[in-house]
Amino acid sequence: MRTTVLIVDDHPSFRRLARRLFEEAGFTVVGEARDGQSALDSARALRPDLVLLDVMLPDISGIELAERLPPEVSVLLVSSRSAEDLAIGSRRFLRKDELTLDRLRAVAGGTG
């Protein structure tokens, strides 16, 4: 069974890029959201295995939102800033400019 993904980012162009990369890597993208509230609603309704979550959303911090997601959902945080700048610590994280097919497979757990 393929891993399902919800993509959460306020930039449509980044969501399109992420969708393409996830699909090429063998994941199934079940939805997209542009802000924290729609991400929370989508995660509850769609029950994805993984949420690709932008740290800086217009209405809530992605880090705070990650705490509100159901515990069975894996989270991969992304930002244009570095993990050190954001003080993310040991969470799974990729800078947006590092989002490639190979890095996605390595960080998101294989081929989906």
Beta bridge partners of 6: 31, 51
Choose from 22-26, 28-32, 80-84, 95-99 the range with maximum mean pLDDT.
28-32
Cα separation, 38 vs 15, whole angstroms? 14
CATH number assigned to the domain comprising residue 12: 3.40.50.2300
112 falls within a domain: no
**Strand residue runs (E) in 9-109:** 28-33, 50-54, 74-79, 93-95
38 falls within a domain: yes
pLDDT, tens digit, 9 for 90 and up, residues 16-73 = 999 999 999 999 999 999 999 999 999 999 999 999 999 999 999 998 999 999 889 9
Torsion of CA 88, 33, 24, 78, to 10 degrees: -10
Token digits for 1?
A: 């069974």
Number of domains in the chain: 1
64 falls within a domain: yes
Neighbours of 87 (CB within 10 A): 7
Q: Give the domain range for residue 25.
A: 4-103
